[in-house]
A and B are shown apart, each in its own frame.
Chain A
């Protein structure tokens, strides 16, 4: 009895499913025609592949032509061709990965020479590709900036006092005291300081290198966006930092020297 009841229901469901499937295919065919018009294929091309259309659904062709609309679109659809679509999608993912490798080399605009003849013939497709690659770049840059910000906020100025910096400051203090006691009567106080700085430049490589994070300032971002290579910007930032270090050393040296001098003068005046 139940079988008798369920059979017409199943029939009804299957008929409904069939109708839905036909409707879906019809829609897909229309969408492909529309996409053809957008991409700029001739009708003749479509007519030549008419035989294929009977045997294969348009869905695959759509994906093939618009590879940049990522495979997520295809995988979301529940259809008997899902497995095929997924395989197509994985191929497309591989292509995207290859493109991604190119984009990971840095923020760049693809030179025209790199584009193939097929790509040149299909300008809308190339446009979409360019747009997507730029979008990827923008997303990567945003992520990078966010990470840098977070790391800067978490460890602000922690690495500022590395061992070499401390050594420099202590060396400046010791030298200033020594110069006040022994040297200053014979020559200028800046001569020993310059010698010390030269020594620091030589000793730099014997100290463990601390990987100082480059601060993302508005200036560096503007220079980067205006096309100056990151290497040049980082080098100039390094030079600027070195100059700052030398200035700090000079300040500490001069301060210690003057303080020492004042203390010695005070003691000598008291003793006399």
Chain B
């Protein structure tokens, strides 16, 4: 009986965790891509270098020192192109990472849900007097078939909805 008493909480907590992770998926994927990316420092160096060169360019008079000005400008252009290529590859890598994280999450979520349904297929999550939920007791008890029981599917749907509303309200 004690086991039956806490089943509803177990299902609720797993649904809550799933929804929370789902909300945090973009942050997780960006964090992972940051960790896995090795040449982030190089990019920062390039950015600072370009900024320095631009500052230097603004201090040079184009009329007086045209050759130097042109040389520096060419250098800046070259560096900018390099940075663009770098950023493009990084963005592609990030998108790939996001895709992989999403796939992994959905696979894990599906596995968790299937295992929960498998475990509580015959047993109700919780039991109330059948008179209380009277015209819909069969629907609520599905698939356990216990009179007055709350089935796993019904409880999963209810928990998902409530947790989604709660997370949306607090976010």
Give A residues with C-beta under 8 Å from B.
Answer: 157, 160-161, 169, 184, 188-190, 247-248, 251-252, 254-255, 258-259, 261-262, 265-266
Contacts and interface: CB of A to CB of B under 8 A. Distances in A.
A248 B165 contact: yes
A255 B131 CA distance: 18
A258 B8 contact: yes
Contacts of A161: 168-169
Interface of B: 5, 8-9, 126, 128, 131-136, 150, 155, 157-159, 161-162, 165, 168-169
A184 B161 CA distance: 23
A51 to B, nearest CB: 66
A266 B157 CA distance: 24
A258 B128 contact: yes
A111 B93 CA distance: 55
8 contacts: A188-B131, A188-B135, A251-B157, A252-B165, A255-B159, A255-B162, A258-B155, A259-B8
Nearest to B1: A269
Contacts of A160: 168
Contacts of B133: 188-190
A254 B158 contact: yes
Contacts of A252: 161-162, 165
Contacts of A266: 5
B107 to A, nearest CB: 26
A251 B158 contact: yes
A162 to B, nearest CB: 12
Contacts of A188: 131-135
Of all A-B residue pairs in the complex, the 3 with the closest CB atoms, nearest first, are A251-B161, A188-B134, A255-B162
Contacts of B157: 251
Contacts of B162: 251-252, 255
